[in-house]
Structure 1
Amino acid sequence: MQDTSLDQAIVDHETYGALDRQHILFSTLRKEDPVHWTEPPGFRPFWTISKHQDVIEIERQNEKFINAPRTKLLSIDFETKVRDAMAGRPMLVRAINQMDNPDHAKYKKITHAWFQPREVRHLEDRIAVIARTSVDQMLEKGTECDFYKDVAGWYPLRVIMLILGIPDEHGPRLLDITRAYFGGGDAEVQRGNDLIDATFAYVNFFKEVARERRRNPTDDLASIIATAEVDGEPIGEFETSSYYVALASAGHDTISATLSGGLLALIENPGEMRKLKQNPDLIPAAVEEMVRWVSPVKHFFRTATETYTLRGKTIKQGDHLLLAYPSANRDEDAFESPFAFVADRTPNRHVGFGFGIHACLGLYLAKVEMIAFMRELLSRVDGIELAGEPAWTETSFVGGLKRLPIRFSRLH
Structure 2
Amino acid sequence: MTDRTSDWSPLVTDPDGTYAQTFQDMRGRCPVAWSNDFGGFWALTKHEDVVKACKNPAVFSSAPQFTVPHLDLGFPWLPLQSDAPAHTAYRSVLTPFLAKPRIQGMVPQFRELARNLIAPLRGKSEFDASMEFAQPFAGEALCLALNVPEDMWAEFRSWTSNIVTAFSTGNLPLILEVSNAVSEYVTREIKDKSENPGDDLMSAMLQARVDGRPLTQPEIHGYYMLLTSAGHDTSSNSLGQALLHLATHPEHAARLRAEPELIPRAVEEIVRFYGPLIGLGRQAVQDVEIRGRQIKAGEQVALVWAAAARDEEQFEDANSFILDRPVTRSVSFGFGTHYCVGADLGRVQLAVAIEEFLTEFGNFELSGEVGRTIWPTQGIRNVPVRTS
1:197-236 paired onto structure 2 within 5 Å: 197-236=177-216
CA offsets per residue over residues 270-324 of structure 1, 9 Å max, x none?
A: 2222221110000001111111122121221122333333223333333331111
CA distance in 2, matches of 1:186, 1:118: 34
8 Å Cα contact 1:182/1:399 also seen in 2: no
1:384-403 alignment, distance < 5 Å: 384-393=364-373, 395-398=374-377, 400-403=379-382
Q: Number of residue pairs matched?
A: 385
- State the partner residue of 2:35: 38
Question: Is 1:165 matched with 2:147?
Answer: yes
- The alpha-carbon deviation at position 254 of structure 1 amounts to 0.8
2:139 counterpart letter in structure 1: L
Identity of matched residues, %? 28
Counterpart pick for 2:298 among 318, 338, 356: 318
Structure 1 residues 297 and 47, CA, compared in 2 at 3 Å: closer, same or farther?
same
TM-score normalised over the length of structure 1? 0.86
Aligned to 1:126: 109
Matches within 5 A, 1:2-401: 3-4=5-6, 6-7=7-8, 9-10=9-10, 12=11, 15=13, 19-20=16-17, 22-40=19-37, 43-74=38-69, 82=72, 86=73, 89=74, 92-139=75-122, 142-184=124-166, 186=168, 194-393=174-373, 395-398=374-377, 400-401=379-380
Q: Tell me the SS of whatever aligns to 2:57.
A: coil
Tell me, yes or no, if the aligned pair for 1:391 and 1:402 is still in contact at 8 Å: yes
Give the letter for the 1:114 counterpart. Answer: F
Q: Counterpart amino acid of 1:333?
A: E
Contact 1:301 1:320 in 2 (8 A): yes
Aligned partner of residue 48 in structure 1, secondary structure: strand
* 2: CA distance, partners of 1:70 / 1:231: 21
5+ residue gaps, structure 1, are: none
Q: 1:97 Cα deviation (Å)?
A: 0.5
Alpha carbons 2:32, 2:42 under 8 Å: kept: yes
Q: Deviations over 1:117-148 (max 9, x none)?
A: 222233222222212222223325x2211111
Return the alpha-carbon distance in structure 1 between the equivalents of residues 87 and 237 of structure 2: 27
Larger CA deviation: 396-405 vs 253-262: 396-405
The separation in 1 between residues aligned to 2:249 and 2:362, in whole angstroms, is 15
The more displaced of 304-313 and 147-156 is 304-313
Q: Which amino acid aligns with 1:407?
A: R
Distance, in Å, in 2 between the alignment partners of 1:389 and 1:27 is: 25
Preserved CA contact (<8 Å) 2:247 2:385: no
Residue number in structure 1 paired with 2:384: 405
Letter in 1 for 2:13: T
What residue identity is the alignment partner of 2:344? Y
Structure 1 position 34, deviation (Å): 0.4
Quick check: 1:164–1:222 contact (8 Å CA) kept in 2? no
AA paired with 1:204? E
Indicate how the Cα distance of structure 1 residues 169 and 234 shifts in structure 2: closer, same or farther if over 3 A, else same. same
Cα distance in 1 for partners of 2:287, 2:270 equals 36
Separation of aligned partners in 2, 1:327 and 1:28:
10
Runs of 4+ in 1 over 4 A off after TM superposition: 18-21, 184-187
1:33 is matched by which residue type in structure 2?
Answer: C
Letter in 1 for 2:24: S
What is the CA–CA distance in structure 1 between the aligned matches of 2:18 and 2:347, rounded to whole Å? 29
Contact 2:60 2:282 in 1 (8 A): yes
- 3-state SS in 2 of match to 1:382: coil
For residues 191-212 of structure 1, the C-alpha deviation after alignment (integer angstroms, 9 at most, x for no partner) is x953222222233233323332
Decide whether the 8 Å contact of 1:257 with 1:401 is kept in 2.
yes
Calculate the TM-score normalised by the size of structure 2: 0.91
- CA change 1:337–1:203 in 2 (3 A) is farther
Q: Which range moves more in the overlay, 28-37 or 215-224?
A: 215-224
Q: Which runs of 5+ in 2 are unaligned?
A: none
